[in-house]
Structure 1
Amino acid sequence: MRTSRSFELTHRAMALMLVALVATSFPGCRTWIPRAPQRPGMTASDWAAISLEKPVGELVAGKPNQPAEIATVSHFESLGQRSPPTADEFDQLTPWQLSLDEAIQLALGNSQVIRDQGGRVLSYPDMVRTTLDPAMLRNDPNLGLDASLSAFDTQFQSSFVWNGDGNSVNSAFSNGQFGVFSQPETLARLGVGRILHSGTQVSIGGIGGYDEELAGGLYAAYGAEVRHPLMRGSGTEINEIAGPLAKPGVYRGIRIAQIDHQQVTLEVEQAVSELVRDVSIVYWELFFAYQDLEAKRTAMENTRQAWQLEQQRVEQRVSPPDVEAVARQQFYSAEAAVRNAICGTVPGQTGVYNVELQLRTLLGLPACDDRLIQPIGPPLQAPIRFDWHESDALAQGSRIELRKQQAVIAKRVLEIKAAKNLQRPQLDFIGQYRRLADDPTNDTELFDSALQGWQVGVDYSRPVANRRENAAVRHAQLQLQRERAIAEEQRRQISAQLRTTFIDLDRAYGTMNSMAKSREASMVRLAAQSQRHAAGDIQVEDVLEAQIRATKAETEFQRSVVDYNLAFIKVHHARGTLMQAMGVGFGQPTYDECRFALNSASVFARPENLDNNVTGTRIASPSASQRKAMPQPGTFR
């Protein structure tokens, strides 16, 4: 009875627990808690407190019958970033004056994941480069440097076996033919072996046991074996290329692993170079956004003055009301243009806020805080000319794309050597030695040296048709031919890109000079029309037209200045000298990361911080250790 009563209570308890679980599994707005934090700095307990205090819908849209402004008071501000700024808050944000060198330093310091403008980290995270990639490949258990070297590691083997019947037969050594013994009642084995870099396999070991019937008690034996390849797999070079256990088409030697590691390092360097280029481009785009905003603010102020003057004339009955409406319409259009210049428009992705957010993303900064990045330092406006022949030679030897391709070609050459070696027969020299140890408790030698001796010989084998090995050689040769053709096409493409950047640099400089003269002329016209309008000699439409022309000329001039600096950056990128021009090199290395840092001032640094020269710029020279891994810097003329 007690047992059935306990079973009944247990059954009821389980039923109640099941009902409780089902009841709590239904979703409800007041009981929902996210499985993981959804914002930086927020824990699951923070989410629980918010969800218990308010329904989820109220956090976004507010309670019914309440204005929308109340819903913007969020619980998230104390836990995460501030809300995005509005156009009216532009002047309330703290300006953060940032030089290009400081921006690059921030980007390099915050880029364990190397960012790009495309945002591939969301769409294609597996394609994103990080500073951990070289270390990851180095420690890959199948393809890394240590994995390749592990084939030459010393192997230790041991075993201890106890057998009660004493009738089984077993070899004395698992990896060496040292003799055949009757299985003793107790057997212990111990041995070491390794493969040398020349391909030679060596092993040494011994066995010991206790057999009362056969050996009369304790006994021991030891031996050694050497196997040296004479044809296939022979030599240090081939074993370092393909590895001692190579198969046709599968080459995992230390030299192949080193080239693979070099390729990954070059890919990281290329990603860093593209990051430096993107930061520089977005930095100057932000500079233009500020200049464009300043021009539109000036236009709005000029339009305000014209509108106020027309208002006074309407009150004095000197001008009709419709003329004042023209000035008023122009003012509000200018005000809208200022708002767009601050926030930007979605199709064009312009505006200070939009471009500043792009720069923040590249620098690894929070999307919103109480500061607003403001570029400082004048852009380059001096005439700069590069020598074509020098630039083309630098591009052919410095572009990371070509350096990566040269590494691939070097790998294909080694693969051909390995494939040709595997075509050869397997001919090995074999030497073995075995000996029974003396019994310290008995002067009589066991079996009278019957199982003591040595053996020397050769072992030969090969496939009759050798089809797989021949196909591997042909495949490796075709791969080498393909990679060389790709390298030649890359050289042509690089020369074409360099030519395009040279033309664009010359165009940008000429356009900048022309737009400077256009801006000067528009300002003269605006000043004259403003004086005539103040004197009442012309209509307001004339001065408004002059203001529009002046604003357009100012914006186009600032655009041409930025385009000239962007063309300068693109020339350095096409030459393969952008990293040196921006003063970027390898930083303090660590075991896990491949670091880059701003080692010297860039060409955009303030002239007073640089050596005195004609253009106020220079190209930073890397250290001796960096020259081995990075292209040599050049000078521009």
Structure 2
Amino acid sequence: MNDWFAELGGPNSQTTRTWWGNLHNVCRVRVVTVGLRLGVAVAALVLSIILPGCRTTEVNDAQDGVDPAHYHYTALDISYPDVESPVDYAVATTEPPMTLDSEPPDEYWDLSLSDAIRHALSNSQVMKDLGGLVLRSPSAVRTVHDPAIQETDPRFGVAAALSEFDASFGASTFIENNDRALNNQFFGGGTRILEQDAAVVQSQLTKRAATGTELAFKNKTDYDGNNAPGNLFGSAWNTNFETEFRHPFLQGGGVDFNRIAGPTDTPGIYNGVRIARLNTDVSLADFESGVRDFVTNVENAYWDLYFAYRDLDAKIAARDAALETWRRINALAEVGKRGGDVASEAQAREQYFRFKEEVQNALTGRLVEGTRSGSGSGGGTFRATGGVQTAERRLRLIIGVELSDRKAIRPADEPIAARVTFDWDEILIEALTRRVELRKQKWLVKRREFELQASENFLLPTFDLIGKYRWRGFGKDLLPQGNRNKFIVQDLDGDGNIDQNADGTLPVQKSRAALQNLFGGDFQEWQIGFELEIPFGNRRGHAAVRNAELQLARDRAILQAQEREIVHDLSNAVAEMNRAHAIVLTNFNRRQASNEQLQAIRENYENDRRGAPLDLVLDAQRRLAEADAAFYRARVEYTLAVRNVHYEKGSVLDYAQVYLSEGLWPVKAYFDARERQDRIAKPLDYFKLLSKPASVSQGTYPQLLAPTEAEQSGEGEPAVEVPVPAPATDVNAADLRLIELPEPPPIAAPREPNIRSVVVEELAPPTDEVIRTNSTVEATPQPMPIENVESLPQTQPAPKAIPRTLPSQSESGVPIKVDSFDAREPDDGFAPLNPRGAKAVRPSLPTERIQRDAKPAPLPEPLKRLRPKRFPSIPAIEMKTESKSSVDENDPFADESPQ
């Protein structure tokens, strides 16, 4: 520094003072200029923040004809959403419902149970119930889209988990201009005023392997042109290619951990591909349970309607009998004969209007809860609420047909008539194997086991191996620009002459283009090392393991409790089936006895014998009506009890002949699956280090277990070639033959084949999934002990004729009948039926309304045909009348035939 001042003549020389003055003026100008620029920038920033927050004083109060008061005084309001979801035309044009005042239906629709289930599965994408859950809690209702929604979930689905291991490409480009003053000339490359044009272009390709290894391939190219005199070139390019890897040896490493937890460093958050696949399996189990309950509710609604018709028929018969009695009492009262007193006439009239009320209630029904799944039992305990019109509307709602039209649905199937027995040991194992709730809980237990395995990885320290390798290139230009870039013209010795080689030629640089310099490989760099992190105590890791253990213990305890609950419910279902069958036999005997009692009392009453007052006649009519309804209620209860046994042992869909399958994929998906299958069949095994992953599932679950008669006998019809639905994309026939598709059951083409979803079809079981079992035996009626009217157990003889020997007072009781379903009433068409009811019974709605006159009107002609002969019912009771000579001439019923 002193030498420098000495060259200027010393620090106090005139030259030195002049130099310092000029420097001071330059710096002051520079400071003022920088201050002005900084002030302008700050003012612009403040104005950009303040001005958008200001508002004008003029307010347009009327825009587009909207009242401004709405915006002045209302913050929240109830609005109607604008969605592209028009109301269904069939729903918007629904006809008025059938009521008491409605005309009789134009026709009847004789619907079988299998057709009802088919309509329900074909018309419903929402698994509705009969409790209004779709309105109260729509998010809890199952739909056919739920499994596909779970699998395509962008957060927790299978595709989302696999996306963490997809290759990713990124790029960025930035261009900038710098103009700054530097305090230190050294950092400015020999200048204090730096003027620079710069650009940076970066790109990278990253990939995470299944082992947790992170791989990256990067490129960075930057341009720098500035006025620094110390630069070799006024503008230059730098470019480099870099490869990088990071492999975790302890925490976060391993194929199993990454497949379970995914690339995460947070314990308790596991979203690997295995967990996502298990979530899909859980969703499939939920969907299956929704379909099971839906099919069960369809059957519940069907048998509710059946009983409603039977109950209505019994009430109509009782009303007609009461009307006939009232007419006779009223006729006796009009002629002044004995038995026609006011009290008797009023009593008979009260009986008639009582049964008329019951007919009206049985026709329309009351809005009370009917039979539905989960009510009393898993499949639903029968509730004899009655009401034809209400039950029919419920059935229409759940099977997805018009809610109201001019047709009346009538069940065409009869309840189960044969006695059905089950082998307890087989159905017990079947229930513990096939119940969907247990299968779902086992998937949850499997998920907890995987989570525990992943959480143990967080007990390890972090030890990552890191490596980098880089190729660099530098030059005045990025790309070669011809011969002008091959020679270096410079004066390094400062003699004022251009430096030359010994032979007088100019020195030649290998390349002055950055890419040429890069690919020449002159500049290479590398780095390798490791990172180690050991948390003292590792509280979070130990807490994660303990939490996973508790979660696993909880789910296992729930699984055991569910198994006990299922065995309990299965026991209740078997006991209920036995009780229901016994009640069927008892109510049949009661029905026979009530019929004979009414016939005997009415005969005594009409013959004017002692001990047969009107009270006994009316009471016998009530007893017969109650016994008739109780008999059909018992038959429906027995049918539902058999169904509930299948429900509790997990075979209710098999019982209803419903099979679940996945919809068709596009043809391209089958080609991709075939190609991937070939890769999986021959995996690359590097030095025998790859291990086979642990088993997750035991293969496809067999849905149908009951063998057909042809399978049991070893015979069957020849195989029928099932046409394959058209694929989603157009391909040649030759290409289609290359696809080795499985042989699924015959299914209809889905509505949208391009959308992967789970559909429900009513199908025949595939031959490769049938497991033979003899757990269900439909036995023929066998002799069994019953109780007679005196409650004495007797042995029932072989089912032949119908003994009608009445018990005497001096001897023990004898059986009244042989077998409930083999003891037929005269001309009732009652025959043993198979469990699905091959004999169609067609109840009928009343076609006339009873007149509301105070006086009993003559019996209308249509009412005489309300109970057709094909209807299994109690035979008509013949009412004996007195001889014509003993009847007054004014008797209006003297010339009429008995009703």
Aligned-partner Cα distance in 2 for 1:16–1:425 = 66
Instruction: Structure 2: state its 5+ residue gaps.
Output: 1-57, 182-195, 226-230, 370-384, 481-485, 487-509, 667-701, 714-761, 778-899
Q: 1:633 to 1:466 in 2, by over 3 A?
A: farther
Q: Which has the higher contact order (CA 8 A, sep 6+)?
A: 1
Aligned to 1:104: 117
Matches within 5 A, 1:547-562: 547-562=621-636
Task: Pick one of 252, 267, 283 that aligns with 2:271.
Answer: 252
Matches within 5 A, 1:368-387: 368-387=404-423
- C-alpha distance in structure 1 between counterparts of 2:605 and 2:163, whole Å: 87
User: Which is worse superposed, 362-371 or 481-490?
Assistant: 362-371
Does the 8 Å contact 1:154/1:194 carry over to 2? yes
Matched, 1:295 2:314: yes
Alignment-derived partner of residue 345 in structure 2 = 324
**Which of 521-530 and 265-274 deviates more?**
521-530
Distance 2:169 2:59 in 1: 60
Verify the 8 A CA contact 2:703 2:769 in the aligned structure 1.
Answer: no
Task: Give the 3 Å change call, closer, same or farther, for CA 20–435 of structure 1 in structure 2.
Answer: closer
**2: distance between equivalents of 1:203 and 1:502?**
65
Shift of 1:188: 1.6
- Number of the residue aligned with 1:419: 455
Q: Is the 8 A contact 2:128 2:398 kept in 1?
A: yes
Matched, 1:453 2:525: yes
Contact 1:620 1:633 in 2 (8 A): no
One-letter amino acid matched to 2:220: I
Q: How many angstroms does 1:186 deviate by?
A: 2.7
Paired with 2:69 and 2:151, the residues of 1 have a C-alpha distance of 51
Tell me if 1:333 matches 2:354: yes
State yes or no: 1:508 paired with 2:580. yes
Are 1:281 and 2:281 an aligned pair? Answer: no
Match of 1:311 among 330, 337, 342: 330
Per the alignment, residue 342 of structure 1 pairs with 363
Equivalent residues of 2:466, 2:529 under 8 A apart: yes
Q: Distance in 2 between matches of 1:613 and 1:504?
A: 30
Deviation at 1:534, TM superposition (A): 4.2
Percent of aligned pairs with the same amino acid:
31
Give me the whole-angstrom Cα distance separating, in 2, the residues matched to 1:42 and 1:408. Answer: 40
2:395 & 2:204 partners in 1: Cα distance? 62
CA displacement 1:5-58 (0-9 Å, x = unmatched): xxxxxx9996899897769x99xxxxxx99579xx9779xxxxxxxxxxxxxxx
**For 2:511, which of 437, 441, 444 is the aligned residue?**
444
Residue 578 in structure 1 maps to residue 645 in structure 2: no
1:419–1:469: 8 Å Cα contact kept in structure 2? yes
The 8 Å contact of residues 100 and 283 in structure 1, kept in 2 or not, is answered as yes
CA contact (8 A) 1:585 1:626 kept: no
Q: Which amino acid in 2 is paired with 1:333? A: R
- 1:202 paired with 2:215, answer yes
Query: Once the two structures are superposed, what CA deviation does each residue of 1:519-567 show, in whole Å capped at 9, x if it has no partner?
Result: 1222222233344444444444333222211111111100100010111
* Cα distance in 1, alignment partners of residues 201 and 180 from structure 2: 17
d(CA) in 1 for partners of 2:414 and 2:580? 17
Displacement of 1:148 after TM fit? 0.6
Query: Which of the residues 766, 771, 776 maps onto 1:623?
Result: 766
Q: Deviations over 1:216-272 (max 9, x none)?
A: 644532121111111112221110000022411111100000111111111111111
Which deviates more from structure 2 when the two are superposed, residues 80-89 or residues 393-402?
80-89
Distance 1:542 1:357, change over 3 A: same
**Between Structure 1 and Structure 2, how many residues are aligned?**
555
- Bigger radius of gyration: 2
Distance 1:503 1:248 in 2: 49
Asked if the contact 1:41–1:80 (Cα under 8 Å) also holds between the matched residues in 2, the reply is no
Once the two structures are TM-superposed, the CA of residue 118 in structure 1 deviates from its matched residue by 2.3
Q: 1:636 aligns with which of 773, 776, 780?
A: 776
Give distance in 2, aligned partners of 1:311 and 1:610: 62
Name the CA distance, whole Å, in 1 between partners of 2:529 and 2:555. 44
1:240 matched to which residue of 2? 259
Match of 1:519 in 2: 591
Report if the CA contact (8 A) 1:436-1:452 is conserved.
yes
Tell me whether 1:227 sits opposite 2:246 in the alignment: yes
SS of residue matched to 1:164: strand
Say if 2:629 is the partner of 1:567: no
Deviation of 1:611 (Å): 7.2
Counterpart secondary structure, 2:102:
helix
Q: Which deviates more, 96-105 or 313-322?
A: 313-322
Question: Aligned in 2, Cα 1:167/1:36: closer, same or farther, shift over 3 Å?
Answer: closer
TM-score by length of 1: 0.78
The equivalent of 2:203 in structure 1 is 190
Shift of residue 621, structure 1, vs aligned partner: 7.2
- Structure that is richer in helix per residue: 1
Distance 1:78 1:201 in 2: 57
Say whether 1:133 aligns with 2:146: yes
Q: Quote the offset at 1:354 in angstroms.
A: 2.1
Q: 1:612 to 1:453 in 2, by over 3 A?
A: closer
| Alpha carbons 1:184, 1:209 under 8 Å: kept | no
Counterpart position of 2:550: 478
Structure-2 change in CA distance of 1:583 and 1:246 (3 Å): farther
- Comparing 414-423 with 229-238, greater Cα deviation is found at 229-238
Three-state SS of the structure 1 residue aligned to 2:337 is coil
**Change in CA separation of 1:90 and 1:522 when aligned onto 2, cut-off 3 Å:** farther
Counterpart residue number, 1:148: 161
User: Residue 124 of structure 1 corresponds to which residue in structure 2?
Assistant: 137
3-state SS of 2:177 partner: coil
Helix, strand or coil at the partner of 1:89: coil
Deviations 1:85-116 (A, max 9, x none): 21243633532221111111222223322112
| 8 A contact 1:306–1:540 mirrored in 2 | no
Please give the residue correspondences for 1:430-441 in structure 2 after superposition, counting only pairs within 5 Å.
Answer: 430-437=466-473, 441=480
8 Å contact from structure 2 (residues 205, 218) kept in 1:
yes
Shift of 1:573: 0.8
